[in-house]
Amino acid sequence: MTSRDTVTDPLSSGRGAALPDGGGVPASPPIPPRLLTELIDGAVRDHGARRAIDFLGRHWTYAEIGALVDRAAAGLQAMGVGPNIRFGLCLPNTPYFVILYFAALRCGATVVNFNPLYVEHELRHQIRDSGTTVMAVIDVASIHAKVAAVAQESGLEKIIVCPLADILPPFTSLLYRLFKRSEIARWPADARHMAFRDLTAADPAAFKPVAIDPDDVAVLQYTGGTTGVPKGAMLTHANLTANSRQMTLHVGHGA
C-alpha cells in the first residue's frame, strides 16, 4: 500500500502509481454487505431504458431484463425453488443466464454453474456433489442430451429448456430453425421438463418475497479440477457484491 492511501497497480513499474481513475482508489472504501439482487434492482431503477444486453444483434433494456427476472422468479417459486435449493445453470453466454441467475437468487436458491462442454460423468459428479435438483439448459441437442441422460440417476428433478431460436433476431432465428433443425433438442412432454417460455408465463405479482441474508451462499462455483476432482467454492452474496463494488471503484463508477 502506498503512503498516499491508494491502491497501486500491480502491473506498474513498482513506483506505486495509482490506479487510473483520476485520484486513486481509497485503501479501505466502504463496502457494506448487500444482496446480489440489489444490483439488478438498482440497474432497473436507475438505467431502465438503457441497453443491458446485445446478443447477436438482438437487444434488451435493463427494464426488459428486470421484468423477465421477475416473471422467471415467480415461475421458479411456483415450481418449488427457494432457500436450500441448488439451481443449476448449464448455459452458454446468453440472456437466459442473466435472467435465471438473478431469478434463482431472488427465490433464495443457490446457483451452481455447469460448463456446457462437460461430458456426462462430469455433469453427474457435479449434480450429485452439489445437490442440484433443478437445472436450466440450452436446447442445443448435444448439450440437452447429456443432461437428460444423467438426470434420473443423479437426482435432477426438473430441467428448464431454453430455446436458442427464441433469443435470436427474427431473421437469424428463422434461418437457425430452418438450417440447424437437426441441432435443436426435442425434449419429452414429461413432468421433468419445462420450457422457459412457460416458466415466464407466471404472474410476477404472485411472487412471495423471501428473507435472504448477505451471508447466505449465493453461488457454488466449481474449480477447474486440473489437480483433482472439481470442488465447489461457496460464494456468498456479500462476497460477490463486494467484488462488484471493488470493480466499480477501480473503473471510476463507485456509486
Q: What is the DSSP string of 37-52?
A: HHHHHHHHHHHTTSEE
Within 13 Å and on the Cβ side, how many CA atoms surround 23? Answer: 3
- 55 within domain boundaries: yes
Residue 186 domain flag: yes
Residues 60 and 52 sit within 8 Å (Cβ to Cβ)? yes
Q: What 3-state class would DSSP assign to 14?
A: coil
Q: How confident is the model at residue 145 (pLDDT cuts 50, 70, 90)?
A: very high
| Mean pLDDT of the 39-46 span | 98
**% pLDDT > 90, the chain:** 80
C-alpha cell at 189: 412432454
Residue 22 forms part of a structural domain: no
Mind listing the pLDDT tens digit for each residue in 163-214?
Answer: 999 999 999 999 999 999 999 999 999 999 999 999 999 999 999 999 999 9
Q: How confident is the prediction for the chain on average, in pLDDT?
A: 90
How crowded is residue 152: how many other Cβ atoms within 10 Å of its Cβ?
Answer: 10
User: Residue 136's beta-bridge partner residues?
Assistant: 89, 160
Q: By residue range, what is the domain housing residue 241?
A: 47-251
pLDDT at residue 114, as a whole number: 97
pLDDT at 230: 87
Using the structure block, give the residue that is written with the C-alpha cell 445453470: 89
Sheet holding 158-162, edge to edge: 193-195, 158-162, 132-138, 86-90, 110-113, 217-222, 232-236
The answer to the question of residue 138 being in a domain is yes
Give the orientation angle of helix 237-251 with respect to helix 37-47, to 10 degrees: 40
Query: What average pLDDT does this structure show over 15-29?
Result: 54
The three-state secondary structure class of 139 is coil
What length does the chain have? Answer: 255
Q: Is the pLDDT of residue 153 over 90?
A: yes
Evaluate whether residue 94 is within a structural domain: yes
Query: Would you say residue 209 lies in a domain?
Result: yes
Helix (H) or strand (E) segment spanning residue 88: strand 86-90
Give yes or no for a contact between 99 and 65, defined as CB atoms under 8 angstroms apart.
yes
Provide the percentage of residues in the chain whose pLDDT is more than 70.
88
Domain count, the chain: 1
Residue 28 lies in a domain: no
Q: Is 253's pLDDT higher than 80?
A: no
CATH, residue 223: 3.40.50.12780
Whether residue 42 is contained in a domain is answered as no
